[in-house]
Structure 1
Amino acid sequence: MPRHARPRGGHLPRVPLSNLGPPQGLEKRRAAAWAAGQQPDPREARITRLRDLNQRLTNKLARTHTELTQLKERHRLLLSNLAAKDDELQRLRRELSTCNNTLVSVSEVGQRDDAAGVVPLPRR
């Protein structure tokens, strides 16, 4: 039968695929390509790329979490410091107010005794 002619019925004879198996040396070629840094299978390359991306994102998330924790602690300390300064300011204002009231009382007592008609000058 010539090469271009088909057998009767127009179909080629069926060969079971289980008899074929993997091509000779496929595993060896794949291992050699992998060892050389090449990835012949695009799915394997994609899996490796996604694993690397996942690792980078996991590391970035851990760094971001650590940074956020440090910022929260710094914020807490700064708020505490601000509250302490506010308390000190309020205490000093009360002390100044008490001191001014005492000075005015003493000066009023002295003015009544010595100078009943003198108007005191405003304080600066």
Structure 2
Amino acid sequence: MSLLNKARSWLTEKVEQAAGELVTYSRSGESYPVTAVVGQTLASEVEQGAARIAYSDRDYLIAVAALKDLGFGRPRIGDTIAHVIDGEEIVFVIGNLDGAEPAVRFIDQGRDVWRIHVKRKED
């Protein structure tokens, strides 16, 4: 393993330790706890006079190895992530953004971390 690869792995681990939160990743009736870092992507902006309104969607950053170890592999559209926020479990579903951004992509050249776009699941 090269020095750069070691540094990437170390950084991924440190970010998870500092900002990671436990979520439940589910697919086809199987659910497992996994550590994720919460992120956000700007989905669109609308100008209304002098004001600019920005819409954003929630992202989860999850280590590729974490999902691989669970047997899931690449995240799929329709998989869900449940996250307890302020004492309430909220379920998010993986899906495409309204723009050109794919639902799932790597965030790094080493392909160590997935950026997963989600939207709150409708009840």
TM-score, scaled relative to structure 2: 0.18
More helix by share: 1
Higher relative contact order (CA 8 A, sep 6+): 2
TM-score, scaled relative to structure 1: 0.18
Structure with greater Cα Rg = 1
